[in-house]
Amino acid sequence: MSYTISDIKELKRKALDVRANILKMLPPGKVGHLGGSASAADIVSALYFKHMKLYEDPKDDRRDRCIFSKGHAVLAQYACLVELGYFDRSELEKLKTLNGILQGHPDNKLTPGIEAVTGSLGQGLSISVGMALGLQLEGNGARVYCIVGDGELAEGQIWEAAMAASTYACDNVCAILDYNGVQATGSTKEIFPIRDIREKWNAFGWYTIEIDGHDIEQILSALEEAGQVKGKPTMIIAHTTKGKGFAFAENNAYFHNGYMTEAQHKQAVDMLSAMRMEA
């Protein structure tokens, strides 16, 4: 399937909206996971605004599911769900407050459109595999998309899930690795370098695709390609930049879970405006 230029342009604008929503959730001085949310922003935009089958009712059985196994980056997901009208915009500024419905990590009981409880790393991919098996049992053709972090690959459970998905030939599972090279306390090279990532997924029986995770066209065509794969799950290795779109936060581990100053927040808003002019 090919996409029209207007599709791509629209999605690029949507990805800016997503980043703008993230900024609304993280006003100056409020600590939050900016880096990993921004690195996943283009991926979720392609998923939520173009690729996934979604319905007005966020619980519609036919829907495709998206699970953030790297649950801390859920801000990117909230930013999409609010655009879909699943909850009110006023919730964005209530992120991580007692009166809000947007928790620090995904909670399906509290937030419409969130599919599971994740955040304890490594569990989301297993949950996705379980959903995929459940959907297969009921003959439901919906697909399950799972966003995994590269730091998260150190969790042993990821590889347990990887084996289970290929053993059970879960071709309705598509994982997307947000390969941004930075984890909580430094670069993955410094903290815990994981070698031969693509080879590992191949060895675990997955079909792999490698793309630029900020190139909307590449993301869309990879998702399409994954949909054609039969008999095995797909891993899309998406090369991304942590904090993408906000120069001061890019590749900066501080913004894994830091706060913006007044000046940085203004700079971030200005950068988005400038990008909007170009888009």
Which residues make up the interface to other proteins (CB under 8 A)? 107-109, 115-120, 122-124, 126-135, 137-138, 140, 156-157, 160-161, 163-164, 167-168
Q: Which is nearer to other proteins, 21 or 166 (CB)?
A: 166
Least distance from C-beta 139 to other proteins, angstroms? 12
Q: Which is nearer to other proteins, 132 or 260 (CB)?
A: 132
Q: Which is nearer to other proteins, 157 or 251 (CB)?
A: 157
Least distance from C-beta 163 to other proteins, angstroms? 7
Least distance from C-beta 53 to other proteins, angstroms? 15
Distance (Å, whole) CA 172 – CA 45: 20
Least distance from C-beta 182 to other proteins, angstroms? 24
Least distance from C-beta 41 to other proteins, angstroms? 25
Instruction: Kindly report the backbone phi and psi dihedral angles of residue 174, in degrees, each rounded to the nearest multiple of 5, phi listed first.
Output: -130, 115
Q: Which is nearer to other proteins, 98 or 277 (CB)?
A: 98
Q: Which is nearer to other proteins, 72 or 244 (CB)?
A: 72
